[in-house]
Structure 1
C-alpha cells in the first residue's frame, strides 16, 4: 500500500507529540502550513487527537504515535552486520 501525501502529513503531526508524558499537548496555529492544518483536522476526525487544532492524544492516538515512533526508530537504525 503506497503512502499518500495525506498519510505522510498525518504521521508528521503525530511525530510532534511527546509520548513520554500525557501532560504534553500540541497546538497547530492558523499560520501553520495548510498540509499540517489539514492533517491535524483529519487526525481529530479519526479520533486520534482531542481537538481539531491539536490538543492531546486520545488513547488510540497515543498507541498509534508510540508505534509510529518505534517504527521510525527501527527504520532509521543502522543495520547489524
Structure 2
C-alpha cells in the first residue's frame, strides 16, 4: 500500500510537463499546501528534482514521471 507521502510525491511528479523538460515547477511555501511543500523537499532529497522547491526533473525524476504517467494511463483505460 502507498503511504500518503508517496501519493503526494506522485501527484507532484505528475504535474511536470514531459512535452517540455525545460519547464520546471516552483512550489511557493506560503501559497502551496504543506503536503506539496514537503513532497517537493522529499523529491529533491531523493534526487528526482533539482531544487527543494520543485525545479527541474533530474534523469531519475524524468524516469519516475514517465512511469507514473504510464501507470495512470493504464489505470484509467483498464
TM-score > 0.5, shorter chain as reference:
yes
Match of 1:27 in 2: 26
- Which structure: larger Rg? 1
CA distance in 2 between partners of 1:23 and 1:6 (Å): 26
Q: Which runs of 4+ in 1 moved over 2 A?
A: none
Segments of 5+ residues of structure 2 without an aligned counterpart are: none
Normalising to structure 1: TM-score of the pair? 0.92
CA distance in 2 between partners of 1:22 and 1:65 (Å): 11
Match of 2:42 in 1: 42
CA RMSD of aligned residues (A): 0.7
Normalising to structure 2: TM-score of the pair? 0.95
CA distance in 1 between partners of 2:75 and 2:63 (Å): 18
Instruction: Give the number of equivalent residue pairs.
Output: 77
Segments of 5+ residues of structure 1 without an aligned counterpart are: none
Deviation at 1:20, TM superposition (A): 1.4
CA distance in 1 between partners of 2:66 and 2:17 (Å): 9
CA distance in 2 between partners of 1:70 and 1:21 (Å): 17
Q: Deviations over 1:3-61 (max 9, x none)?
A: 00000000000000001121110000011000000000000000000000000000000
Match of 2:2 in 1: 3
